[in-house]
Chains A and B, each alone.
Chain A
Amino acid sequence: MEGLLEVLRSARRKAEQAEVFSVSSRAMPIQFEANELKQVQTKESRSSALRIFREGRIGFATASEGGGLEALVDMAVETSQFGSPANFQFPSSQDYSEVCIVDPEVEGIAMERMVEIGKELIAKIRGHTPDILCDVQVTKGTSSISLINSQGGEGRYDMSFFSLSLEGILVRDTDMLFVGDSESSCRFSDNIDDLADRVIWQLEMAKKKATVSTKLLPIIFTPNGVASALLSPLVLAFNGKSVLEGASPLENKLGEQVFDKKLSLWDDATIAYGVGSYPFDDEGVSSQRLPLVTNGVVANFLYDLQTAALAGTHSTGNGQRVGGGFPSPAISSLILSGGDVSFQAMVEDMKEGLIVEQLIGADQGNLLGGDFGGNVLLGYKVENGEIMGRVKDTMIAGNVYQVLKELLGVGKEARRVGGILQTPPLYCSRVSVATKGS
């Protein structure tokens, strides 16, 4: 904190208001490549950011430790000549509620133990499919966040994280099968079974090949599929910045039924041990659980301080500095509420359709407009209620506002994907499927 105070003091001599934000982190990823331990890493970094209001304009600069903290003030002053008008106040002193994001066990986990976890995971997958090649990453880490501003606002918290991910590749002739999954949490866990079982299920389903023809088909997006295909356009549309500039299709839709009644979505920065959780956001605003969609009705958008001020509303505690940059509205953790249909019942309901687990190239289309689409990297064909096998050379394309307007079903089995999304499978009707040779 002492270093930050010094920067704040020197900034205050040149600016009306100032804010110093600092992150230091230490991460240790252990990487297995092609089933073998290839590399162990330790990554330490510490960087600080200074934001000032000078002559009514915002200036911003960042520096790594040793990279010139003393240069922060000059750089921020320089950019403030051109910065946008300062239209908000830095938050003053407040009490933040506690959010559970530290597991004291994480820091002490030995490298050897992490190596063992990776080996066990690989062994279990190879027990099912001996000739698969697995890349596994086991990562532990800790970080400390500090923030202090000229209006009396001050906060500091620590967090820990532990994650496990696996990507498997199986090559037969020129056919390549990619499977994989990941888990991350603030808490340490040496349970590899859930992850391994999901990957083994993928391998089972993909054993046979199936074909599909070009037409409109119902699709079940698994939790991974929801993350891969549907998430990006939604995240963009709920961003207060897209709304403010009139680029979000949800602008003027607050309080309106835009999605299926079965669909409820919220952003929650308070989930215990969620890697997206925090007691206060990167601007010192308290975190909260924010409904975005309630029974299909648009309820809120995500705001940081500046965007909220421009939009005439309050920050929702979603100001985040992705990659240490300028604060901007971003999701913390997204929760999509579970429904009442089992995955098995969805499959049995299908006469002909697809299950989509993973797309490639899904983020390339007109995301602002809600379009999604891409090549099905991992997906299965369903015929008469039975999974027939994996599809290849198949593309899907659709629009989230059409597909999520009327859902055939919302799954019971919600789960965390990639640490910051919790979602059930979604059963959607009439998605465009295109394939080779038809």
Chain B
Amino acid sequence: MTGLFAFIRVKGYNKGVRDVIADALKGHDADYLEIHFEESQATNIAYRGERLEEISRARNSGGNVRALVQGSWGFVSFNRLGGLRDKVALALEEARLASRGPFKLFPTESVVETVVPQLEKGSTAMPLAAKKELLDEYNDIILGSPKIQSSRINYRDAGRQSIFANSEGSYIEQAKTDLTLRLTAIAREDNEVQQAGLSLGGNGEFSAVERLHKQAREIARRAAALLSAPQVKGGEYTVILNPILAGVFAHEAFGHLSESDFVYQNESLRQIMALGKRFGGKHLNIIDDPTIPNLRGSYKYDDEGTPATKTYLIREGVLEGRLHSRETAAKMGERATGNARAINYLFPPIVRMSNTFIEPGSASFEAMLGDIEEGVYVKDWYGGMTSLEMFTFSAGEAYMIRRGRLAELLRPVVLTGNVFTTLQNIDAIGSDLEMNQGGGCGKGGQYPLPVSNGSPHIRIRHCVIGGK
């Protein structure tokens, strides 16, 4: 044991956690069985205007058993490790209720390993006073700016230490810290209310949220400027996306389509997403890579114990790969990519992205602007959503482009389109890759999952923008 687990106590057992789990994995007739157990500690700090709305701490522990019998899954989650064998039995009983066609999970090698990232200045270890002092500074800057009515500051750090063990002999302990900060400035004049925000995150280094004073000032200025900004006229435009928004596009519009659990049981979707099919120009490369160090979506093993791997989703415009769990890989005859993830012990792992990005090309921002007669430059990020084929995402900051130059600031805009035509309509990809670590991804009730996404500037022809 590595001492990762500070407060697990197993009532009625005089053994370590590892032995308890190992015992429970023995002597059953499941095709496959896995047990997760985790502890977490979190700190939340939230401001609403000048009021510190919440400062709280939380400690959690819990785990789950997942059993596969004859192609169907049973899943039991719990807070206490006691009576683990009964929980295994319940998961088996559940799995036997269903009767899908049996299958074999994609094979992975069993692993015994402990993964503990070293942080220079870990956020969970920082004193509460230091966190509050820093947030106070940002809040004072925002609230002291002209026309600002209020602010929102949401800070969260959470450390999670997890155990994964399965009936194939794997036993993996991993520690991971997640850190998020969102700053929002709310401006008001008469009945007009406008807001601008900044969303950041990291793998736990406190430095990710330090030295943001200039950005805090900038969002306050922008929220105020939005009060007098016009709304764009709805319709079709040539659009340039900044790296943050283009990253959201890569995640929302294409990334979710690459999650095989959407595809594997749907014959029509499998045809649409056939490997080798052309989705965009030769300049288009989209990648998911949890092995890049120190990003929010980085990890060594996924929640099924599969090693993380870099996956080209699109290479040179052609569909090359997709994201898999052991089940979806087996059922599609492809390789497990290490993308089965769960937000916590209350949920089974499902196919998720990690760090998803568009690879840099060679176009400069000026060249992209140059030949646009009338268009829109969109930046910042309110959010995004997709229903496979259709996507929408919104930009908190947008400017008209007229005759090759940036013109007036616009009210926030919503962009939408069909993924397939939009990918084809990307006609320029910049060289300035940036990763965005704010927010979190939601799917199947599991939100927020730490992910990152990124891109250089990209230009899209014929993009629909909602407006007046």
Contact = CB atoms under 8 A, between A and B. Distances in A.
19 contacts: A34-B265, A44-B78, A45-B77, A60-B54, A67-B7, A68-B61, A82-B52, A169-B388, A171-B266, A176-B388, A178-B387, A247-B186, A249-B193, A361-B392, A366-B193, A368-B193, A375-B392, A432-B234, A434-B466
B128 A393 contact: no
B234 A397 contact: yes
B126 to A, nearest CB: 13
Contact of A41 (B94, B132, B235): B94
Nearest to A36: B100
A266 B417 CA distance: 37
A109 interface: no
B76 interface: yes
B392 A395 contact: yes
Given A39-B73, A246-B188, A434-B467, A393 B44 contact: no
5 closest cross-chain pairs (CB), A and B: A361-B392, A434-B234, A171-B268, A34-B265, A40-B94
Nearest to A112: B97
A377 interface: yes
A128 interface: no
B57 A364 contact: no
A68 B39 CA distance: 10
B384 A41 contact: no
B425 to A, nearest CB: 11
B58 A37 contact: no
B74 interface: yes
Contacts of B53: 84, 241, 326
Contacts of B139: none
B250 interface: no
A79 interface: yes
Given A42-B76, A62-B58, A66-B80, A82 B235 contact: no
Given A172-B268, A437-B236, A369 B387 contact: no
B98 interface: yes
Contacts of B450: none
A331 to B, nearest CB: 18
Contacts of A13: none
Contacts of B386: 360
A366 B195 contact: yes
Contact of B79 (A44, A175, A176, A435): A44
A115 interface: yes
A63 B416 contact: no
B390 A375 contact: yes
B75 A246 contact: no
A324 to B, nearest CB: 8
B219 to A, nearest CB: 14
A363 B467 CA distance: 15
A7 to B, nearest CB: 13
Interface of B: 7-9, 39, 44, 46, 48-49, 51-62, 72-81, 90-91, 94-95, 97-100, 128-129, 132, 149-150, 186, 188, 191-195, 234-236, 265-266, 268-269, 272, 346, 348, 382-394, 411-412, 414, 416-418, 420, 462, 464-468
A67 B62 contact: yes
A75 B59 contact: yes
Interface of A: 33-34, 36-47, 60-68, 71, 75-76, 78-79, 81-84, 111-112, 115, 133, 169, 171-176, 178, 214, 241, 245-247, 249, 310, 325-326, 360-361, 363-366, 368-369, 371, 373-375, 377, 392-393, 395-397, 432-438
Nearest to A374: B392
Contact of B348 (A41, A173, A310): A41
A373 B74 contact: no
Nearest to B129: A82
Contacts of B98: 36-40, 115
B389 A176 contact: yes
Contact of A42 (B79, B94, B382): B94
Contacts of A433: 234
B61 A64 contact: yes
Query: Which of B51, B193, B236, B411 has the most chain A CB within a 10 Å cutoff?
Result: B193
A361 B416 contact: yes
Nearest to B11: A66
A67 B61 contact: yes
A375 B236 CA distance: 14
Given A34-B266, A434-B235, A435-B464, A78 B73 contact: no
Contacts of A38: 72-73, 98, 100
A436 B383 CA distance: 22
Contacts of B465: 395, 434
Given A44-B78, A60-B55, A245 B387 contact: no
Given A246-B188, A364-B393, A374-B392, A63 B58 contact: yes
Nearest to B269: A171
A206 B195 CA distance: 37
A176 B51 CA distance: 46
A369 B194 contact: yes
A396 B464 CA distance: 11
Contacts of A63: 58-60
A305 to B, nearest CB: 13
